[in-house]
Amino acid sequence: MLNGIDPNLIVRGGRISTDEFNEVKGIKDVFAIGDIASMECKKYPKGHPQVAQVAMQQANTLGKNLLRDLNSKTRKPFVYGDYGSMATIGRSKAVADLPGFHFNGFFAWLFWLFVHLMNILGVKNKFFIFVDWMWYYLSFDQSLRLVIKQKSPDENIEADKL
Ligand SMILES: Cc1cc2nc3c(=O)[nH]c(=O)nc-3n(C[C@H](O)[C@H](O)[C@H](O)COP(=O)(O)OP(=O)(O)OC[C@H]3O[C@@H](n4cnc5c(N)ncnc54)[C@H](O)[C@@H]3O)c2cc1C
């Protein structure tokens, strides 16, 4: 927990309670966005879902509100636009659940790749991530690496005593 924040403002899941402008309740000019923020509203009484879309949209709204502050304009409250969900579930397989439109399989997977690539910042990053993905796809290389260190016999004895 961050020092200086009233423990009563830390709610379910260790999130910090904010108002509709992502300002931490009762603390002027201190903001929390994304997973760490809990902005309770009528539609989301327990706070918004902890997904990337919420974090990105709150960052966007907050950035604009900070500019409004600088120009002595009124802040606009955050309103979440839910554009749907997607998940990839393996090579060439994905599901897309968009408002009023659901599809799956290869085209959903291509769409998943496209949307995620477009959301990566910078052309250079997009390019290198695209090359990485192509390499993993073509080489069947798995990105997951598990490094398991063998315990020494002494460590095993100590662990057995616990
Ligand atoms: C396994 C997994 C799968 C997910 N899959 C999806 C998905 O498919 N779709 C989706 O929309 N969302 C998904 N999410 C959720 C999504 O990742 C989060 O909602 C999103 O990243 C929230 O963004 P954020 O900026 O709030 O937090 P984060 O992305 O967690 O960024 C917080 C950053 O702050 C840094 N930080 C933490 N403490 C400190 C400190 N004291 N000082 C400085 N820096 C600090 C962290 O290192 C981190 O870089 C997934 C999450 C997980 C864990």
pLDDT tens-digit readout, 64-111: 999 999 999 999 999 999 999 999 988 899 999 998 899 999 999 999
Position in ligand 1 atom list of the atom nearest CA 53 = 11
Q: What is the pLDDT of residue 18?
A: 97
Cβ proximity of 80 and 57 under 8 Å: yes
Q: Do 47 and 101 share a structural domain?
A: no
Q: What is the pLDDT of residue 152?
A: 72
Closest CA to ligand 1's atom 51: 51
**Is residue 92 a part of any domain in this protein?**
yes
Cβ proximity of 62 and 22 under 8 Å: yes
With a Cβ cut-off of 6 Å, ligand 1 is lined by 34-36, 50-53, 55, 87
Nearest to 55 by CA among 27, 88, 22, 29: 22
Q: Do 93 and 134 share a structural domain?
A: yes
State how far the Cα of 60 lies from the Cα of 13, in Å rounded to an integer: 24
Can you give the CATH number for the domain in which 43 is found?
3.50.50.60
As a three-state string, the secondary structure of 125-154 is HHHHHHHHHHHHHHHCCCCCCCCCCCCCHH
34 vs 140 pLDDT, higher one? 34
Q: Do 108 and 61 share a structural domain?
A: no
Confidence of residue 147 (pLDDT cuts 50, 70, 90): confident
**Is residue 156 a part of any domain in this protein?**
no
The C-alpha angle 34, 39, 40, rounded to 5 degrees, equals 145
141 has a pLDDT exceeding 80:
no
Q: Do 97 and 66 share a structural domain?
A: no
Number of domains in the chain: 2
Q: Do 12 and 51 share a structural domain?
A: yes
Instruction: Please enumerate in sequence order all residues whose Cβ is within 8 A of that of 61, keeping only pairs 6 or more positions apart, or say none.
Output: 21, 22, 76, 78
154 has a pLDDT exceeding 80:
no
Strands (DSSP E) along 8-149, which ranges? 10-11, 15-18, 37-39, 85-88, 94-98, 101-104
144 has a pLDDT exceeding 70:
no
Q: How many CA atoms lie within 13 A of 127 on its CB side?
A: 3
**Is residue 64 a part of any domain in this protein?**
yes
Q: Which of 35, 56, 97 to mutate to test the pocket of ligand 1 (most atoms within 8 A of CB)?
A: 35
Please give the residue range of the domain that contains residue 25: 7-70
pLDDT digits (tens, 9 = 90+) for 18-54: 999 999 999 999 999 999 999 999 999 999 999 999 9
